Amino acid sequence: MNAASWTHYNPVRVLFQPGVLKRIADHVDSPRVALVTTPGFRRRGAVDTIANALGSRLVAVIDDIKPNPDVDDLQVQSTRLRSERPNTLVALGGGSTIETA
């Protein structure tokens, strides 16, 4: 492939259920997971709930997503995750979090 052609495949599953955070491990079969979220979800304890559910499979948490991220913001987050080499990204939040993941 040259620089002018590329392929992108982006399967996405959205879960919205009572108690799903405690059962997140039932829905994610990857051995290396990164969580992408916002500071509010950490403050409310959701990050801890997911960390407890995933255990050692959770290799990174990016919890400083800001509203309406631009390409530079995405590059910063990508660089932070590169060394952790996650197989799966879990987005906890709304549009900006999902866009970043």
User: Is 4 within the bounds of a domain?
Assistant: no
Give the CATH number for residue 49: 3.40.50.1970
Per the structure, the complete domain to which residue 88 belongs is given by: 20-100
HSE-CB for 79 with a 13 A CA cutoff: 6
The whole-model pTM stands at 0.83
**Could you identify the residue written with the tokens 């990016």?**
62
Tally of domains in the chain: 1
Answer whether 55's CB lies under 8 Å from 28's CB. no
User: Is 13 within the bounds of a domain?
Assistant: no
Answer whether 22's CB lies under 8 Å from 49's CB. yes
Q: What pLDDT score was predicted for residue 86?
A: 94
User: Is 7 within the bounds of a domain?
Assistant: no
One pLDDT digit (tens) per residue for the chain, 101 residues: 556 777 777 788 888 889 999 999 999 999 999 999 999 999 999 999 999 999 999 999 999 998 999 999 989 988 988 899 999 999 999 899 988 98
- Residue 90: phi and psi, rounded to 5, are -110, 120
Answer whether 18's CB lies under 8 Å from 30's CB. no
3-class secondary-structure state, position 18: coil
